[in-house]
C-alpha cells in the first residue's frame, strides 16, 4: 500500500483557487482512502467546504484506482461525466503523488491541484491501522518493520494526519427535518437517505445490497422498515427522509422477515463457507452475509438448499469469481460502472438462472476487466475475492466445550 499524508492546509488550498474556477474533485478509492485522506466521504466533505465558501464545484468523481491512466481516461470520457470534466477548469485530486502525475497527463488542459505528499509504502494492521514500513529516503526516516503510525509521521514531517476538518468551514444552509425513529426524535438533512440517517444515529439496520459509495438499488429487502401511514414496508436504503416521518426499524415482524430473507439467501447457494477468504477478520474482508447470519443466530436454513455447483472463474490474474457464493446484490455491477467506469460485468439470464458474468459471458481474463478491484471491494460475500487471499480460510472463534462424564 502506498502511504500518503495531507501536505497542505485548507487555506493553502483556497489560495490556489479563484471564485471563477469551475472545480471538479476526484479521488482514488484505494491506498489514499485507507490513509484517511481520500474516498467518497472526504470528497463530499471538501465539496461542502468549498461550496460553503462560495466556490463553484461542478461535481465529484470516485475512481477505483486513480493511478491507472486508462481508468482516469475512461472516467474523463464516460458519457455521464464527460460534460462535467469538459467544463471544469480545475481538478482537485485526492491521490498519491504518482497518481497526480497521471492526472496532470490526462487533464493537460486544466489546472490540477494535489493535496498530498507520498512517503513510501506500508500496510494495514488490525490494532494500529495503517502504518508506514518502507519510507522513501527523502523523508529521512529509517526502514521500520513494525511500521510508523501516521500521526507520528505527520508530526515528524510537519504534515497533516487527517483530512480537512469540516468543522472549520461554515456549511451551506441545509434544510433539516424532524423525524422519529423507534420513538426517538432525530434531526436529519431533508431528503437524506434513511439508512444513513439511522446509522449516523447509532441504529443499525441489516442490509446487503446498499453501499454508501454506490447508487441505491433496494434489491436485498433486508432493510425493510415501517413508516407510519404507509401500508407497505419500505426499504430504508431507497427512502429519503421527510418532515414528520415516524419510522420503526426493529420489531418482531421485521426481524421475522429479515430472518426469512437470510435463510432464503443461505439456501439459494453454497454459503456454508468453511474455506472462504472473506472469513479473514479485517474491515475489508469480513463477509457481511456471515456476520448477519451470526447476528440473527441462524444455524441452518429451513428451506431446501440448492446444491448445484457452478464453475469458479479463476482465469483473472488477480480476481477469483465464485458464483456459488453470489447473492445477486448487484454491488459489483454498480461498482464496475460507477467507480471503475468500465461496465465490464452485469447480470445475465433471468429468474433463478440469473448470474453475474463478465463481458459477453466470457471468462474474466477474456473480458475488458481492468483489474481495478472495485467489484471485489464492493462484494459483501466471498463471490469476488482477491486471488492472493483466496482460500486463506476463516478465523474460527475458539470455544470451550465441556463433556459430561458418563
Ligand atoms: S470487473 Fe471488477 S476489477 Fe474488472 S474492471 Fe470491473 S470493477 Fe474493475
Ligand atoms: S458477485 Fe458479490 S457484489 Fe456481485 S452480485 Fe454477487 S454477491 Fe453481489
How many A from CA of 7 to the centre of ligand 2?
A: 37
Mean pLDDT confidence for 212-229: 95
Q: Which of 68, 103, 66 is nearest to 88 (CA)?
A: 103
* Confidence tier at 217 by pLDDT (50, 70, 90): very high
Task: For residues 9 and 143, state if they share a domain.
Answer: yes
End-to-end, the C-alpha distance of the chain in Å comes to 56
Query: Tell me, what's the pLDDT at 126?
Result: 75
Query: Tell me, what's the pLDDT at 282?
Result: 60
Q: Which of 127, 159, 161 is nearest to 146 (CA)?
A: 127
Residue 405 located in a structural domain: no
Specify the ligand 1 atom closest to the Cα of 64.
8
Asked if 273 and 290 touch (Cβ cutoff 8 Å), the reply is yes
How many A from CA of 217 to the centre of ligand 2?
A: 13
Query: Tell me, what's the pLDDT at 390?
Result: 61
Which of 346-385 are b and which e, b meaning 16 or more Cβ less than 10 Å from the residue's Cβ? beeeeeeeeebbbeeeebbeebebbbbbbbbbbbbbbbbb
Task: For residues 238 and 129, state if they share a domain.
Answer: no
Check pocket membership of 320 for ligand 1, CB cut-off 6 A. no
* Cβ atoms within 10 Å, residue 99: 30
* CA 134/CA 1 separation, integer angstroms: 10
Residue 261 located in a structural domain: no
- Report DSSP state, residue 278: G
Q: Can you tell me whether residue 75 is helix, strand or coil? A: helix
Residue 263 located in a structural domain: no
Q: Which of 150, 168, 186 is the last residue of a domain?
A: 168
Query: Tell me, what's the pLDDT at 172?
Result: 56
Residue 227 domain boundaries: 176-250
DSSP lists the bridge partners of residue 177 as 188
How many A from CA of 404 to the centre of ligand 1?
A: 53
Task: For residues 41 and 164, state if they share a domain.
Answer: yes
Task: For residues 77 and 202, state if they share a domain.
Answer: no
Query: Tell me, what's the pLDDT at 305?
Result: 85
Residue 23 has pLDDT above 70, yes or no: yes
Mean pLDDT over each residue of the chain, to the nearest integer? 90
Q: Which of 250, 283, 304 is the last residue of a domain?
A: 250
Task: For residues 305 and 350, state if they share a domain.
Answer: yes
Task: For residues 204 and 132, state if they share a domain.
Answer: no
Query: Tell me, what's the pLDDT at 307?
Result: 82
Task: For residues 287 and 348, state if they share a domain.
Answer: yes
Task: For residues 41 and 156, state if they share a domain.
Answer: yes
Check pocket membership of 29 for ligand 1, CB cut-off 6 A. no
Q: What is the CATH number of the domain that holds 308?
A: 3.30.70.20
Pick the more confident residue, 135 or 393: 135
> 24-28, 151-155, 244-248: which has the minimum mean pLDDT?
151-155
Pick the more confident residue, 358 or 395: 358
pLDDT per residue as tens digits for the range 260-309: 999 999 998 776 666 677 766 565 558 899 889 989 999 888 998 888 88
Residue 403 located in a structural domain: no
Task: For residues 163 and 190, state if they share a domain.
Answer: no
* Confidence tier at 400 by pLDDT (50, 70, 90): low
Residue 398 located in a structural domain: no
Query: Tell me, what's the pLDDT at 280?
Result: 61
Q: What is the CATH number of the domain that holds 221?
A: 3.10.20.740
Task: For residues 302 and 371, state if they share a domain.
Answer: yes
Asked if 34 and 42 touch (Cβ cutoff 8 Å), the reply is no
C-alpha cell at 24: 471538479
C-alpha cell at 74: 475512461
DSSP lists the bridge partners of residue 124 as 130
3-state helix, strand, coil in the chain (%, to 5): 30, 20, 50
How many A from CA of 1 to the centre of ligand 2?
A: 25
Q: Which ligand gives the minimal distance to the CA of 341?
A: 1
Residue 397 has pLDDT above 70, yes or no: no
* Confidence tier at 235 by pLDDT (50, 70, 90): very high
* CA 5/CA 12 separation, integer angstroms: 15
* Confidence tier at 132 by pLDDT (50, 70, 90): very high
pLDDT per residue as tens digits for the range 336-391: 999 998 899 999 999 889 999 999 999 999 999 999 999 999 999 989 998 876 65
Task: For residues 221 and 325, state if they share a domain.
Answer: no
Atom 8 (ligand 1): residue with closest C-alpha? 372
Which percentage of the chain shows pLDDT scores above 90? 77
Residue 257 located in a structural domain: no
Atom 1 (ligand 1): residue with closest C-alpha? 369
Query: Tell me, what's the pLDDT at 145?
Result: 86
Check pocket membership of 358 for ligand 2, CB cut-off 6 A. no
Residue 226 has pLDDT above 70, yes or no: yes
How many A from CA of 323 to the centre of ligand 2?
A: 8
Residue 93 has pLDDT above 80, yes or no: yes
> 43-52, 183-192, 296-305, 315-324: which has the minimum mean pLDDT?
296-305
Query: Tell me, what's the pLDDT at 25?
Result: 98
Residue 259 located in a structural domain: no
Mean pLDDT confidence for 165-189: 82
Task: For residues 36 and 152, state if they share a domain.
Answer: yes
pLDDT per residue as tens digits for the range 103-124: 999 999 999 999 999 999 998 8
Amino acid at each position: 500500500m502506498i502511504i500518503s499524508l495531507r501536505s497542505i492546509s485548507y487555506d493553502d488550498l483556497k489560495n490556489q483557487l479563484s471564485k471563477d474556477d469551475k472545480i471538479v474533485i476526484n479521488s482514488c478509492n484505494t491506498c489514499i482512502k485507507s490513509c484517511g485522506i481520500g474516498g467518497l466521504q472526504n470528497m463530499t466533505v471538501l465539496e461542502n467546504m468549498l461550496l460553503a465558501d462560495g466556490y463553484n464545484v461542478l461535481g465529484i468523481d470516485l475512481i477505483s484506482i486513480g493511478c491507472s491512466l486508462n481508468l482516469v481516461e475512461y472516467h474523463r470520457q464516460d458519457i455521464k461525466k464527460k460534460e462535467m470534466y469538459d467544463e471544469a477548469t480545475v481538478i482537485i485530486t485526492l491521490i498519491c503523488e504518482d497518481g497526480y502525475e497521471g492526472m496532470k497527463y490526462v487533464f493537460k488542459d486544466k489546472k490540477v491541484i494535489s493535496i498530498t505528499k507520498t512517503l513510501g509504502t506500508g500496510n494495514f494492521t488490525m490494532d494500529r491501522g495503517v502504518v508506514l514500513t518502507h519510507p522513501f529516503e527523502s523523508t529521512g526516516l529509517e526502514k521500520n518493520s513494525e511500521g510508523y503510525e501516521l500521526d507520528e509521521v505527520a508530526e515528524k514531517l510537519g504534515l497533516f494526519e487527517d483530512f480537512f476538518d469540516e468543522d472549520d468551514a461554515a456549511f451551506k444552509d441545509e434544510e433539516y427535518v424532524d423525524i422519529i425513529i423507534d420513538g426517538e426524535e432525530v434531526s436529519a438533512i431533508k431528503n437524506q437517505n434513511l439508512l444513513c440517517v439511522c446509522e449516523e444515529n447509532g441504529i443499525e439496520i441489516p442490509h446487503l445490497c446498499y453501499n454508501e459509495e454506490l447508487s441505491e438499488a433496494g434489491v436485498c429487502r433486508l432493510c425493510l422498515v415501517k413508516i407510519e401511514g404507509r401500508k407497505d414496508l419500505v426499504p430504508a436504503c431507497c427512502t429519503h427522509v421527510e418532515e414528520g416521518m415516524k419510522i420503526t426499524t426493529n420489531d418482531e415482524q421485521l426481524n421475522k422477515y429479515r430472518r426469512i430473507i437470510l435463510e432464503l439467501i443461505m439456501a439459494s447457494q453454497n454459503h456454508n463457507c468453511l474455506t472462504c477468504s472473506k472469513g479473514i477478520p479485517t474491515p475489508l474482508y469480513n463477509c457481511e452475509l456471515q456476520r448477519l447470519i451470526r447476528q440473527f443466530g441462524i444455524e441452518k436454513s429451513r428451506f431446501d438448499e440448492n446444491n448445484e455447483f457452478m464453475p469458479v472463474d479463476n482465469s483473472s490474474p488477480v480476481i477469483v469469481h465464485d458464483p456459488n457464493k453470489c447473492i445477486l446484490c448487484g454491488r459489483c455491477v454498480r461498482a464496475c460502472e460507477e467507480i471503475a467506469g468500465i461496465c465490464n460485468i452485469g447480470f445475465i439470464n433471468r429468474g433463478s438462472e440469473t448470474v453475474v458474468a463478465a463481458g459477453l459471458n466470457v471468462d474474466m481474463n477474456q473480458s475488458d476487466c481492468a483489474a481495478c478491484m472495485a467489484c471485489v471491494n464492493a462484494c459483501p460475500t466471498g463471490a469476488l475475492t482477491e486471488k492472493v487471499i483466496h482460500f486463506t480460510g476463516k478465523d474460527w472463534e475458539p470455544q470451550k466445550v465441556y463433556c459430561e462424564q458418563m
